[in-house]
Every structure is written in C-alpha cells, then in structure tokens.
Amino acid sequence: MLNDDLDNSQSIAPAGIAFSQACENNKQPILEVLQQELQDSIHVLEVGSGTGQHSVYFAPRLTHLTWQTSDMFVNHATINAWHADYPAPNVYAPLTFDVSRDSVPVNEVADAPYDAVFTANSLHIMSWSLVAKLFQLVGDMLPLDGKFIVYGPFNENGIYSSASNRQFDHSLRQRDANSGIRHLEDVIDLANAHHLTLSKRYEMPSNNQILVFKKLY
C-alpha cells in the first residue's frame, strides 16, 4: 500500500498490526507545528515511535529532512510493518533505544548529529527518573540550536488542565505508580538543568501541549 496520496489523511493499519487512535487523532495538528519548528532541521530522531503511525505520516510531508524512528526492540516489528505499507524515502527503520539502559542511538543515515528530537506521549508513561535521564541524554547529544520537541498533557500551577486529564492521570497511576502527567514547571526546570530552554509552547487539541526546547548554551 503506497502512501502516495498525501491528501488522504486516514491511515489504515496493516493486517493484524497495532493501531493507535490517539496517533490518528493528533497527527495533523502535530504536523502543523512540526512544519514550522523543523524548517531548518536536517536529521530528526523520534524517541518512542510506538506503532510507527506518526513516522509514516510526518516523513513524506517533511521531505527536506530524515526521520529516524527509535523504540524498545519489542516494538520494532510493528513500526516496520507500518513502514512497509506506507513507505517514504526519508523515514528509517527503528533503532533500539531503551532510556533505562541505552545511550541515544547513533545517526546511521549520515555522519552527523541529530539536530532535533521529537517525542509524543512518552513523559507520562515513564518514571520521573527516566524522564530526567531522557532530558540528560538529549541535552548532551544535541548541538547548539538543536530542538527537543515534546508532545503530551501537562499540569500547570499544580492543577490539571481538565477533568479528563485528571481521570487519565488516575488511570496511569493505578497501572504504574511511577507514571503520571508531569508538571510543566518541573519539566522546564529539568530542561534548564540540561542546557535546554523553552522557546515555544503550543496549545493542542484534547488538552495537550507541544513544548519546544532549544539548546542555547
């Protein structure tokens, strides 16, 4: 199945392969932000590619850059299946990246560092210690002016942004007490500790946000 009709935004999952309705719902609003924020980027690393749905939607619409997927090895088969059904010349097979034990995977496409990192809906399913590890790794790896773009829900001023986010946070913590929606102020402080400064914030549908951090020093 070739993804040659970019006006057709409805993705169909490969037979028997995982499908994320959340990815389907948020891909276009996220793309609109990425088209602004990644205009000058060349090599992008996606952390936590999940099903791979975002990668097959974004890459053919951001043809000026390379899109490198990554995730824990257990998710590679699903990502590869999506890539097989929706091929694009600038999207690359997943590299193994487990934040709990791995360094940022080396850019195998070019002898150059990634100049942007993107992650969606990952901070709230990780423990806070792993969130801190991710920011440390990304902050160390990015070159000056590199961007770390983070999508997801965040609390602000110690309160939930909506009743649905409160319920979502409760369900996350029931499943894993170390997970949960993160406080915006804590994430910004963590980023600052690793040479990353919040440069832009976008309000997104369904009480989500995109935070754009830039390495300025």
Q: What is the pLDDT of residue 9?
A: 60
Is 2 a residue whose pLDDT tops 80? no
Which three-class secondary structure state does DSSP give residue 134?
Answer: helix
pLDDT one-digit tens code per residue, 176-217: 999 999 999 999 999 999 999 999 999 999 999 999 999 998
Asked if 155 contacts 188 with a C-beta cutoff of 8 angstroms, the reply is: no
Looking at the DSSP assignment, which residues form a beta bridge with residue 151? 120, 210
**Cβ-based neighbour number of residue 66 at 10 Å:** 21
Q: Is residue 60 pLDDT above 70, yes or no? A: yes
**Weakest-pLDDT range from 62-71, 102-111, 144-153, 202-211:** 102-111
Amino acid in position 72? M
Contact status, residue 211 vs residue 149, Cβ threshold 8 Å = yes
In this prediction, residue 6 carries a pLDDT of 54
Residue 182 neighbours by CB under 8 Å, 6+ apart:
123, 124, 128, 131, 152, 154, 155
For residues 174 and 97, what is the distance between their CA atoms, to the nearest angstrom? 26
